[in-house]
Structure 1
Amino acid sequence: MVARLSSSAIALGWLVRLRWHAALGQALTVAVATRGFGLRLPVLPLLALVATTAVSNLVLALWLRRAPTVRPALLGGVLSFDLLLLTGLLALSGGPANPFGMLYLVHVTLAALVLGPRWTVLIGLLAVLGHASLFAFYVPLPEVTGVPAGGTVASLHVLGTWLAFVLTALVIVFVVARVAAALKDRQEAVVRSQQFAARAEKLASLSTLAAGAAHELGTPLGTIAIAANELESLILEEPHEALEDARLIRDEVERCRDILERMSARAGRSLGEVPERTTTGAVLARLKEQLGAAELARLHFDAGPEELPLVCPVRGLVQVLANLVRNGLHASDETQGIVTVSARGDAERLRFMVEDHGTGVPRALLPRLGEPFFTTKPAGQGMGLGLFLSQTYAELCGGRLELASEEGRGTRVTLELPCRTEAVHVAG
């Protein structure tokens, strides 16, 4: 399940980290100004404001762990509170003469990045009013008692201005880059979630279609089966050819039932099964049981140097591999080429690969493979559901399905799965 974090929650998380650094930087700045440069500042009030930042940030961090849903108003309130604290710090340390007034820009930048126009305007106005208030209410900087040798008060102010500019630029770059990266990750997660929901919806529709077909065809097929059995008993003394026709009808009815059951399983039931512990060799063995003798004659199995363990919905996996194998066999019907089925992996991921040397797929059509009802097979020979369901199975198990093909040289399909996956549930 994809976590749905709002942009405000992401920004508030980074603001909490930034406020810890800010509190530490403020305390260090007070220490350097008083101890290093000998400035006579009201240390206790300054440290009280720094402590207020730290304590409020601790409360905010604890609250954020319990309440992941964050409204923009909370982020705007925190930024407004920080503006008041910054104004207090500057008022106690020189007011408009303090070069660290540039830090107002950090709050305005963050508001413009993640908040709406109204909050951005409000934060901007508060920053302007805060800086303007420094001209009326501030504690002037006293004379410096210890200026470095060869230095002057003017040079010290220039140095402070440069340091404030560098610090402000670095903080803005850091905040914008990290928040933008987090928002990009969130956007990608939302896109993946939407794609997953769209596939699940299509899969549910296919499941409903399969269930409806099974329900509608079950009764007439049952009637045909009964009629075929009665026909067999009535014509025991009739020519042998009629008896064979009756048995053929019965066999075809059973075949139709099997097809409907497999269709229904592929549409959803196999994807809702409980994962089982198995190995790659056992999966390939069960795959062989699903295939006919003519199909097995054109297959080459390569289980690798050793069997690898995995935990997954085994029935669904075998059905997916059977679909991929039959696609490969169909693609190489003209050449009667061999289709290779192999398994490789490590302690974390497994890869089942099905490779044929058939006609291949044009490069322009590759992106569309996996769409429901899109197929490169001739009309009447496929509905394009096999790859769609295979890709859905892979995604639901936390894996992926990759196709590589070159026209005229064949296709390689790679099904990559984690060695252990949770139970998979699909509507339908």
Structure 2
Amino acid sequence: MTKLKKILIGSLIVTLSSQFYIDILLSDFRVSCAIIALGLFLFLNRDVSPIIVGITVGISTYLWRTLIYFLRYGNDYEVMVAYIPEIFFFIVYGILFSRLMKKFDFIGQHTILIIFALLDFTSNIVEILIRIIYFDHRFYFSIITSLFIVALIRAGAILIIATITKYYKILLLKAEHEKRYRKLLWLTMILKSEMYWMDKNMNKIEEVMSDAYTLFEEIRDGKNPDKWANRSVKIASDVHEVKKEYQLVLRGVRGITETRYRDNGMYFRDIMSILEEKMLDEIRFKNLDIELSIESGSDFYTDKHYQLMSISRNLIMNAFEAFDPNKKHSKISLVHKNLDKEHLFKIIDNGNGIDKEDMEFIFSPGFSTKINYETGEINRGLGLSLVKDIVENHLKGYIKMESVSGSGTCFNIYIPKEKIEVNI
């Protein structure tokens, strides 16, 4: 669902709920249920602008109430003007909410209750002041107590409904994760059968490599020239057989992952939650002294969850190798930012960095700076080339990299919103 559509639907809901109200003390001053709907909508939809919502709701509520009054009683200029201050209530509420919105992820429920009550109370005070200053309404001290009690009640209602909604979402998410887990187990079983054919072909590949090297030595040394042609044809035939076997395996894997077990998509925060859990497991398994931080930013729904997971996982795993085992305070951060037309994913580490002479080669397949000189084992160097391929060819994005040898590296992944966001 687009943000504009969300705002319009939310404004409609709040506007309709404004018809449930009570009048208190001041003429034309109403305490409505619209504030419960507005606070709940803003709290559950952090990706929309609270100020725009406040303005939209204020205007739509005013138009709705004046229309209802006109249809019931006819045109009355004074009444229609008297409804205007309520517009400022919603605008002030939206402005104050936008200032405090970023803090909601880091405070407890009791603090949220107080904040919503203060938002409600302050916005009402602004509306009353406008009525007193510009409409010559009388002020009653008793209204202060009444408004604060009403603000607490409405804030409590918002908190209760938000909590119920949160736990309901958790139950749905848990059920979805269990379903995915069962599918993953079945998928793993099928993939293992495909791995059998891949393992079987490894011996055949070793034989072909041996034959090819033997032929190379004979050609180099000029031995058995009458057999070169036949041996070349045999090597080509063997490679073709291996290729056919791998094509069958690849077709089988594609059929499993792209058809029978295709997922419609996931929310980005769920992807990051799974990634964080698995990467922390990897840190514990490898006994690494690394602090991992993931900031998912604003949420969105995507059908490119496998690609985003692969990009993030490869870059974080690559960062694991960038640290000196004796280094203390090693940190890796993944930061997501929602830009105007793009999503930015920053993967930052304070590891060893990359030497200048290696910078232009790090995305090349097979290139690696990670060699174990004791065992002779070399990292296969496919992680970064895979990241580059997914970002540029599949998601039409681009990568910017900054690195200082001895200080750390930062990968900036820019992906167009239209390539990964899905409206649901």
What TM bracket, shorter-length normalisation? 0.3 to 0.5
TM-score by length of 2: 0.35
Between 1 and 2, higher relative CO (CA 8 Å, sep ≥ 6) is seen in 1
